Amino acid sequence: MAATDDCAIRVRDLVVGFGRRTVLDRLSLDVRRGEIIGLVGASGGGKSVLMRAIIGLLPIRGGSIEVEAAGEHGDIGRWGILFQQGALFSSLNARQNIQFPLRESARVSQDLMDEIAAAKLEMVGLAPEDGGKFPSELSGGMTKRVALARALALDPAILFLDEPTSGLDPIAAGEFDSLIRILQRTLGLTVFMVTHDLGSLTAICDRVAALADGRIVALGTMDEVRTSDHPWVRAYFHGKRARMLRPDSGEST
């Protein structure tokens, strides 16, 4: 499970399917260390499947997936995952949710854990008082922030985000984007992001990968991908919605 050189994640000829349906067909993708990569694709086209396969939640039929080992960081905290719905544990409050990975992996005093949780809450832009709230009392944006804080609890090398800005208003989505950018820069993270948000793609992604027909059909910077000839990619980046976002200005939301 160790990728070499600059690669944080290396996927080769990956095949994933359910029953008779093949969702990913000999897919290959390299994610460089320290970059933010955005994965786009049609709904139901296998974006989440690819992410879940990389994380190891789905069995693969063929090919290989190598994910950067933690190296000197030891075994814990290799990756943090932000699930689409947050997946916060509903019986724990926000602070306990953030402390959970730490509590499970190390024996640390409650005081230190509270301080670390408070620091993480502040890093994702929440107030310390929000730590006492239960997931059912949190708004959509706050849920995402707490889930991000939990994903960051063990200072992972790789952060997986499944549609981080879906369900957020444009202002909150923009804030969330810049938050991810800041955290990525400060903590030196590799970020693998599944998204539909053209704004996020333009604003923070170093590279964009387009998934269609079970393969990566375009990979590169936003400008490179935009010039791709693949019909789906053209439709995606030159459709009505994309034009409304003034793709050429390079700045949106």
Partner 1 sequence: MADVPSLTVAAGPPVTLRASGAWTVSHVEALERLFERIRPELAEPAHLRIDLSAVSAIDTTGAWLLEKIRRTRAGAGGEAREPELIGLAPSMADLVRHVQTLNRRTPAAEPRQNFILRQLDRLGVATLAVKDEAAVFVGILGAVAAALFRVLRKPASFRMTSTVYQLSRVGWQAIPIMMLITFLIGAIIAQQGIFHFRRFGADAYVVDMVGILVLREIGVLIVAIMVAGRSGSAYTAEIGSMKMREEIDALSTMGLDPVEVLIVPRVVALIIALPILAFLGALAALYGGGLMAWLYGGMSPAIFIARLHEAVSVTHFQVGIIKAPFMALVIGLIAAAEGLRVRGSAESLGRQTTSSVVKSIFLVIVLDGVFAIFFASIGM
Q: Looking at 1-9, 59-67, 111-119, 236-244, which segment touches partner 1 (CB under 8 A)? A: 111-119
Burial 118-127 (b: 16+ CB within 10 A, else e): bebbebbbbe
**C-beta closer to partner 1: residue 112 or 244:** 112
Query: To 10 degrees, what angle do helices 140-151 and 170-187 make?
Result: 10
Site for partner 1 in 174-213 (CB under 8 A): 185-188
Summary count for the chain: helices (H), strands (E): 9, 9
By the rule CB under 8 A, 100 interacts with partner 1: no
Contact string 139-178 vs partner 1 (x = CB under 8 A): -------------x-xx-----------------------
Q: By C-alpha distance, which of 148, 217, 194 is closest to 50?
A: 194
By the rule CB under 8 A, 85 interacts with partner 1: no
By the rule CB under 8 A, 45 interacts with partner 1: no
Other CB atoms within a 10 A radius of the CB of residue 58 amount to: 18
The span from the CA of 91 to the CA of 211, in Å, is 36
Name residue 123's amino acid: M
Among 4, 43, 109, 110, binds partner 1 (CB under 8 A): 109
By the rule CB under 8 A, 110 interacts with partner 1: no
Among 1, 2, 112, 235, binds partner 1 (CB under 8 A): 112
- Number of residues counted as binding partner 1 (CB under 8 A): 38
By the rule CB under 8 A, 128 interacts with partner 1: yes
111 CB contacts (<8 Å, ≥6 apart)? Answer: none
Q: What is the CA radius of gyration of the chain?
A: 18
- Please state the closest distance from residue 146 (CB atom) to partner 1, in A: 14
Beta bridge partners of 65: 11
**C-beta closer to partner 1: residue 16 or 82:** 82
Angle at 95 between CA 91 and CA 96, to 5 degrees: 45
Among 6, 18, 85, 115, binds partner 1 (CB under 8 A): 115
Phi/psi at 210 (5° precision): -110, 130
**C-beta closer to partner 1: residue 48 or 184:** 184
By the rule CB under 8 A, 248 interacts with partner 1: no
**C-beta closer to partner 1: residue 149 or 194:** 149
By the rule CB under 8 A, 132 interacts with partner 1: yes
The span from the CA of 92 to the CA of 181, in Å, is 28
Strands 79-82 and 62-67: unpaired
Chain contacts with partner 1 (rule: CB under 8 A): 70, 72-77, 90-91, 102, 106-109, 112, 115-116, 118-120, 122-123, 127-129, 131-132, 134-137, 152, 154-155, 185-188
